[in-house]
């Protein structure tokens, strides 16, 4: 018996497009993080970037359950004393929903240079169109996995802002 060690030239990268319409943010982020890491591949190695490229569309239609749309805050620091700024997710989802998806996925990747390399293969778009048609991405349906279990508790940005 010989142990198989994955080499960088053995890695085959695919392109995936994920529609985030009506999908819970955390469940979407965990599935996307698995694709970016390559944990769905038979030759996965934790010390290599074996993952695929992922395109997330319709990020503005993502769902947050419970009271997260009003209570959860997005924090950013300028680097200067007193430079901490907090933005509620209701405002963040209305203006830049791509940041919410990227932050959720980044939190589920390794916190080192390998995780930063994996995050570069993520492309998030607020609307349904994207410029990656030439790569012929495969479609991934997350509705069965990442849809809210109790739709009455799920809140979209349109419900909160009234738009």
Q: What are 115-143's pLDDT values in tens digits?
A: 999 999 999 999 999 999 999 999 998 88
The C-alpha atoms of residue 163 and residue 152 are separated, in whole angstroms, by: 18
| pLDDT given at position 129 | 95
* This prediction's pTM: 0.87
* Domain residue extents for the chain: 19-156
Statement: residue 152 has pLDDT above 70 = no
Question: Within 13 Å, how many C-alpha atoms sit on residue 26's CB side?
Answer: 7
CB 153 within 8 A of CB 65: yes
Q: What is the CATH number of domain 19-156?
A: 3.90.1180.10
Statement: residue 154 has pLDDT above 90 = no
pLDDT tens profile 83-110:
999 999 999 999 999 999 999 999 999 9
List of residues 6+ apart from 52 with CB closer than 8 A: 13, 14, 15, 16, 35, 36, 38, 121
């Amino acid at each position: 018996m010989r142990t198989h060690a994955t080499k960088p030239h053995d890695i085959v990268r695919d392109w995936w497009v994920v529609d985030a319409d009506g999908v819970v943010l955390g469940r979407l982020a965990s599935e996307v993080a698995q694709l970016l890491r390559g944990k769905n591949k038979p030759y996965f190695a934790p010390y290599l970037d074996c993952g695929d490229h992922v395109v997330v569309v319709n990020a503005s239609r993502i769902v947050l359950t419970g009271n997260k749309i009003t209570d959860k805050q997005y924090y950013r620091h300028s680097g200067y004393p007193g430079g901490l700024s907090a933005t509620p997710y209701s405002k963040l989802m209305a203006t830049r929903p791509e940041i919410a998806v990227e932050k959720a996925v980044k939190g589920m990747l390794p916190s080192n240079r390998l995780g930063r390399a994996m995050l570069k293969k993520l492309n998030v778009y607020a609307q349904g169109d994207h410029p990656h048609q030439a790569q012929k991405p495969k479609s991934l349906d997350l509705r069965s996995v990442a849809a809210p279990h109790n739709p009455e508790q799920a809140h979209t940005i349109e419900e909160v802002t009234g738009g």
